[in-house]
Structure 1
Amino acid sequence: MPDLTGKRVLDVACGAGFYSRIFKRLGAETVVGIDIESSMVDVARQIETEQPLGITYEVGDAAELPVLGAFDVVAPIWAFVHAKDSGEYHEMVSRCAANLVSGGTMVALCSNPDIDLDKMSVYPRYGLSITPKEKHGDRQVIHIEMDVEPHVGFDGFFWPAGTTEEAMEKAGLVDVRRLPNRAPGHEAGLSEKGYWADFVANPPFALYTATKP
């Protein structure tokens, strides 16, 4: 993430607002979270009522995302994994990009196109599990469970390499980059024998950034 001090952030597929609250605590002036699941938005709003940070939550589909404002950062976290086909994937990315100001940054957490499904058995050690399901055409369907409070579980797809970069460039974004895998708290990575080594070697996600010219 860039420095969020005084910035306006849109959290797409916000769920119960886990990242929205992090963004606000990192100094964002305005944070708006949006999610298709009204039950998750209800939880986020309840947490906001109990622990007010000034975050606004809305119910909405990333595939039909309107322009909700002019944001410095748009963060689709696990949003694009829900796209039903490549057309919807591109539509989600385009609609997220439309909410960025010129010079704004998109930070997208997507499924790892290079995932080794046989090595996912280590994930419960890190608080999550991923179960492969039947394929949908040529795409691998997965079920993700996260050991967080409130509980998070959802189905999604592993998309092939190049999908995210192509969609971002088609949406008019520049400086599209996939960031290197790093362990929490390790600016330069980590030892091959560290606790997070197995996770970093085969993470379920890939992190991309891009800029709106």
Structure 2
Amino acid sequence: MEVASPTPVGSPCCFPEPCCSPERSGMMQKTVHLDRISEQYQASSTQYDSVKNLPYAFVERETLLGGLPDLTGKSVLDVACGTGYYSRLFKRLGAEHVVGVDIEKSMIDCAREVEEKDPLGITFDVWDAARLPVLGEFDVVAPIWAFVHAKDVEEYYEMVLRCTRNLKSGGTMVALCSNPDIDIEKMSVYPRYGLSITPKEKHGDLQVIHIQMDVEPPVGFDGFFWPAGITEEAMARAGLVDIRRRPNLAPGHVAGVSTKGYWADFVANPPFGLFTATKP
């Protein structure tokens, strides 16, 4: 999933892809699992940014902002950048150098089209997070909804490790992941905030979910709810330290959310959790 006022993308993407051959982008060995993900994102790429106008996305944004360090003059790698919504936010927050990568070429095409029309100096490229090479030494690596698509725990670890290799010493990973403590029964309130999540079949021990956002036409994709401890263990195995889960935040409620307020039900049980860690 991927704040600044949201700018929906409302027209077809046509900016050409000049340099991402399958060999270069690590896409030669796509699996049935990845093909399914790709099909879902292709169907929604032209309007993916529009979901950032939905209420749930305001909580996602505030939670992410609460875990970011000061980006002034920093370099940022946005992993699973989609159409570049957060990449553009990072640039507007003062980052000097921003690179966005995503497995889905149609998303990158859209991101490049926006960049061509309103240049911010962001580079976009096609890469699978599970095959991500070292693209540089970044102050911040931000995998946002990237790990939710790992097909098994070893691929989850691999994604975290490859993201870590792109961090400079002292750099910060800011990872928006599925909520390991989700209460599935309480997800019934989600339509109030512009999305619905439907549990589907199990994939081994993992709960498969379908997330659908309330835009027209609807935007949706499948993913997994990963159990508690997986993200922290993966980060520790990758050599990261100071691993913390950050609090969920809502707009205008930095110090907390009223138990009776509009945001309370969602903030208490969001589909995501934000984890930060440091590379020694």
- What's the TM-score bracket when you normalise by the shorter of the two chains? over 0.9
Query: Which of 190, 195, 202 is equivalent to 1:123?
Result: 190
- Any idea what SS the aligned residue of 2:158 has? helix
Moved more, 98-107 or 137-146: 137-146
Q: CA deviation at 1:149?
A: 9.3
Query: Which of 112, 135, 146 is equivalent to 1:45?
Result: 112
Aligned to 1:27: 94
Following the alignment from structure 2 to structure 1, what is the Cα–Cα distance between the partners of residues 204 and 257? Answer: 37
- Following superposition of structure 1 onto structure 2, how do residues 67-146 of structure 1 map, counting pairs within 5 Å? 67-146=134-213
- Any idea what SS the aligned residue of 2:212 has? strand
One-letter amino acid of the structure 1 residue matched with residue 94 of structure 2:
G
Following the alignment from structure 1 to structure 2, what is the Cα–Cα distance between the partners of residues 150 and 51? Answer: 25
Count the aligned residue pairs.
Answer: 213
Moved more, 124-133 or 77-86: 124-133
Cα 1:148/1:64, change in 2 over 3 Å: farther
Aligned to 1:58: 125
Q: CA deviation at 1:130?
A: 1.5
Aligned to 1:178: 245
**What TM-score does the superposition give when structure 1 sets the normalisation length?**
0.96
Following the alignment from structure 1 to structure 2, what is the Cα–Cα distance between the partners of residues 196 and 139? Answer: 28
- Any idea what SS the aligned residue of 1:135 has? strand
- Any idea what SS the aligned residue of 2:119 has? coil
Cα 1:148/1:19, change in 2 over 3 Å: farther
Cα 1:122/1:34, change in 2 over 3 Å: same
Per-residue CA distance 1:90-145 (angstroms, 9 max, x = gap): 00000000000000000000000111111112112222221211111111011122
* 8 Å Cα contact 1:16-1:150 kept in structure 2: no
Q: Is 1:201 matched up with 2:272?
A: no
- Any idea what SS the aligned residue of 2:203 has? coil
- Any idea what SS the aligned residue of 1:95 has? helix
Following the alignment from structure 2 to structure 1, what is the Cα–Cα distance between the partners of residues 212 and 83? Answer: 14
Query: Which of 204, 224, 227 is equivalent to 1:160?
Result: 227
Cα 1:151/1:62, change in 2 over 3 Å: farther
Per-residue CA distance 1:23-80 (angstroms, 9 max, x = gap): 1110100110000000111111111111111111000100000001110000000000
Higher RCO, 1 vs 2 (CA within 8 Å, ≥6 residues apart): 2
Following the alignment from structure 1 to structure 2, what is the Cα–Cα distance between the partners of residues 8 and 184? Answer: 26
Extract unaligned runs of 5+ from structure 1.
none
Q: CA deviation at 1:150?
A: 10
Cα 1:38/1:150, change in 2 over 3 Å: farther
RMSD value over aligned CA atoms?
1.5
Task: Give runs of ≥4 in structure 1 deviating > 4 Å.
Answer: 147-152
Q: CA deviation at 1:151?
A: 6.8
Extract unaligned runs of 5+ from structure 2.
1-67
One-letter amino acid of the structure 1 residue matched with residue 250 of structure 2:
A
Cα 1:69/1:60, change in 2 over 3 Å: same
Higher strand share: 1
